[in-house]
Structure 1
Amino acid sequence: MLLDGPPGIGKSVWSRELGRHLGVPRCGIEGTAEQASFVVNGSQRGWGSAFPGRPLQTIVQSLCANPIVVIDEIEKAGTPTSTKGQTYGLAEGLLPLLERSSAVAWKCPYYQVGFDMSWISWVLTSNSLGTLPAPFLSRLEILHLVGPGKGDLISFAEREGARRGLSDAALGAICEVIDQIAEAHELNLRHVSRMLTRAEVMASSLQLH
């Protein structure tokens, strides 16, 4: 599946927690850092830096055929090109792995043998679909998410603040700020989490003195 929506609404956190709650191994890949297809496909032996892809490494190391592979911000991966003009985009490298008919007998470039990769659960996130190719999108169930409203942010602040042990005064101040500026400044969960962390640090500092 592909979770598409604005930044800071919890897509990455939900994806990371999914594996823990299901009790299966998780492999995380950052689209901004791992831009080439080698991270999922691996590379052929013969090169000093050759290695199998991260999903297959997870399967082999955990002895679990159905891990969750999370690829965060897939739209930011780009398409690296070699000096010979060959492209090695992350989205393109995923095509045979996302199609069950080809994933069931996928050949690893590193081990040069076939593996059944069809049991992997893929969870991808994006902030925009504009740069992603149509063949790639056609292989995914796309869930379009919207950002939380002001009421959602206040509820989150109250719940998370109580979990962190913040005082009623601190929580009241944070909720008041959210109520006043949420719509004008397009606040998201990440902003509110930072407010809570700042309040937590300030409360801890006061206790030390």
Structure 2
Amino acid sequence: MFGPQVFLRLFVRINQDIWPWQLLAVLVAIAVPALLLKQDGRSRRMALGLVSMAWIASGYGFLVGYFGPINWPAGWFGWAFVVQGGLLAAAVLFGGVHERRLRNGPLVLCWLMAVCGLLWLPVVEAGSWQAIALFGVAPGTTAATGMLALALMTGSWRGLYLIVPLLWSLFSAAMFWVLKTWWLLLLPMATLMGIGAAFWFSPRQGRSPG
């Protein structure tokens, strides 16, 4: 249906079309770790609320608006990203965020590594800095970084939150393999690594003396 040049051009197009509004995505990417450094519940809910908006923006903006017209499964995944953002918002509003302390220093470090490192992968493939994949704009960066939100969620909400990213990882990995965009294969890999990191950073339930 399309070649690697057409796909990579989508990153350039969306960055050109929404300029300078993607600066809001940069502010969100900075605000989330700043909020996570605080150990109070209100800051955590605000951080997850921003992540929720990032899911919706990247799903509707990139996948539905730009990728969907040339690849219909991407359009369906775009709406799934919107639902994913709504699910995270529901977790924030209806008790899906735990109040226990966690190792927020390593969590913030992983967040910064993800948002600062993954955005350059399309640039390497396309050979143009305009193909930069910002959190909240590009779905791969958003999914991989957004997985760290699992560390702040309770068990029942976690299972629901995992469905879309796992399916997206399989779909995107297959697509990148067919397109031979080898650097972009690091995005689904980073998503799976983000899941593992989130479970590692999540606090364990305390055991009772009995």
Q: Same fold (TM over 0.5)?
A: no
Max radius of gyration: which structure? 1
Q: TM-score, normalised by structure 1?
A: 0.24
Which structure carries more helix by proportion? 2
Which structure carries more strand by proportion? 1
